[in-house]
Structure 1
Amino acid sequence: MSSGKARAPIEQGTEEAEKAAHPAKTKRVRRRQPDEVRARILRAALNAFANFGFDGASTRAIAADAHVSISLLLYHFSSKDELWKAVMTDIMNHIRQARSPNGDIPGATATEKLKLLIDRTVRFFAEYPALHRLMTLEGHQLSDRLIYLCESYVKDEFRMLCGLILDAQKEGTVIDVDPARLRIAITAVAAVPFSVAAEYQYLTKQSPFTTKEIEGTIDMINRLVFKSPEHIINM
């Protein structure tokens, strides 16, 4: 028998007793949910594809940026091609929701729908500035990826917006130019301030992401698209 002082018994129900009885339980950490992990990977991949292109993007670098292991990334996406397609599906679903021309205006005219679409397009590119950089990289030459993008997503959006512009022209509110050219112009002016934000801020001393600058971009597009001031007044 030991001659030293006996240790005081751990009182049942105390934190110490819980640790002694269930040591593994105290080390348990919250597991990250699959949807949360997937979303982080998609966001990191969007930035990588936008900054470095498909060929320059590294799945290991994407995993590191998303704070996951490469094995976990490959568990969700078996190849870089599958990851790229998942990124495009995710971002295009977001933009379809954001740019719905029907919006929240039952019975709206084409002019009202177009104004709402311009507003939502600018705000979308402010939230996802990497998309325009990615589309610029993919759009400069014909490739299987560009054909996939156009056939899966862009063609429908292109036709919808051109049709909406044409309907607004018939209402007499939109300038008389080729709807396809105007669609390209709207998208470019809506996206470029955010996709080249560093240049914009250096030259103007203004962040394009402030509320003032976002609303200024919306107003400028409206003044380029609509014929007269009364068509630009906020709804």
Structure 2
Amino acid sequence: MASHPLPEARDIRARRPVELKRTEQLRAQETRSAILNAALTEFSSKGFEAASIRSIADRIGMQHPLVTYHFRSKETLWQAVAEYVFERVRQERDASLSGFGPASAVDRLKLAYRALFRFTVAFPEFHRFILQESLGSSSRLQWLADAFLKPLIGWLLPQIRAAQEEHALPNVEPIVFHYMLISLTSTLSGFGPEFSATSNLSPSDPALVEEYWRTVEQLVFGAFASR
């Protein structure tokens, strides 16, 4: 007589394919994240043209065909890196603003630019990744502008105009004000190595980071607030 498995055994066997699929999905996600982080470092330090799939794979001890399995070309990988980092920037901004409640336009701006500042300090490769494309005119720079920079700026400019109407900011062209803030928020990440070489200080030191942002708030936002 054929034996029949117990209900518990059938349940375990039924769960195994699901658990195996979840494990494989998790492993694939971890592999993709490792590739994206290695690619961000590669592109930010070398630029698109000098970067290579093989060097990206070497950074994480991976065979380069596995990289092309997940990202079929260097161009595809570069675009995936851009999507990856800008999504993280958006999440940082939204997390900073969530739960804050009703606020003035200038308060929203301070939160948004502070979130960007903290992100660039934690991930200086982000600023350098964009800077590599800004060193020359390329189709990639225009793609970045259309896909990510313009939508981000499109949210910020109305906030800047509203703050100007509240007499909380100088009456300068909003896009000029934005790039002034971008310069200030990227100082520690952009000049990090030079900063360390000339001062023996770490641009990622939490106390220094807090002091730097307090100074930005006082210089940019505080002058008009005190009037």
User: Same-fold call, TM > 0.5?
Assistant: yes
Aligned counterpart, 1:157: 152
Give the letter aligned to residue 48 of structure 1: E
Deviation at 1:230, TM superposition (A): 5.1
Q: Does 1:114 align with 2:106?
A: no
TM (normalized to structure 2)?
0.83
Give the letter aligned to residue 45 of structure 1: A
Give the letter aligned to residue 162 of structure 1: L
Q: Distance in 2 between matches of 1:214 and 1:227?
A: 18
Deviation at 1:106, TM superposition (A): 1.6
Aligned counterpart, 1:16: none
Aligned counterpart, 1:41: 35
Alignment match of 1:73 (pick from 59, 67, 78): 67
Q: Distance in 2 between matches of 1:63 and 1:121?
A: 29
Deviation at 1:229, TM superposition (A): 7.6
Alignment match of 2:136 (pick from 123, 134, 141): 141
Q: Does 1:166 align with 2:193?
A: no
Q: Distance in 2 between matches of 1:205 and 1:104?
A: 38
Deviation at 1:227, TM superposition (A): 4.6
Aligned residues of 2:168 and 2:225 also touching (Cα < 8 A): no
Q: Distance in 2 between matches of 1:217 and 1:163?
A: 26
Q: Does 1:197 align with 2:180?
A: no
Deviations 1:151-195 (A, max 9, x none): 110001112222211111111111222211111111111112123
Q: Does 1:225 align with 2:198?
A: no
Q: Distance in 1 between matches of 2:53 and 2:183?
A: 29
Q: Distance in 1 between matches of 2:168 and 2:98?
A: 19
Aligned residues of 2:106 and 2:163 also touching (Cα < 8 A): yes
Deviation at 1:196, TM superposition (A): 2.5
- Provide the aligned length of Structure 1 versus Structure 2: 202
Deviation at 1:67, TM superposition (A): 2.1
- Let me know the Cα RMSD of the aligned residues: 1.9
Q: Distance in 2 between matches of 1:33 and 1:149?
A: 29
Q: Distance in 2 between matches of 1:53 and 1:87?
A: 13
Unaligned runs of 5+ residues in structure 2 are: 1-22
| Higher mean C-alpha deviation, range 140-149 or range 69-78 | 140-149
Give the letter aligned to residue 189 of structure 1: L
Aligned residues of 1:122 and 1:217 also touching (Cα < 8 A): no
Aligned residues of 1:174 and 1:227 also touching (Cα < 8 A): no
The aligned runs of 1:11-90 (5 Å cut-off) are 33-90=27-84
In structure 2, do the counterparts of structure 1 residues 204 and 104 end up closer, same or farther at CA, with 3 Å as the change threshold? farther
The alignment partner of 2:48 has SS state of helix
Aligned counterpart, 1:178: 173
In structure 2, do the counterparts of structure 1 residues 227 and 126 end up closer, same or farther at CA, with 3 Å as the change threshold? closer
Aligned residues of 2:39 and 2:77 also touching (Cα < 8 A): yes
Unaligned runs of 5+ residues in structure 1 are: 1-29
Q: Distance in 2 between matches of 1:139 and 1:57?
A: 16
Indicate the structure with greater helix content. Answer: 2
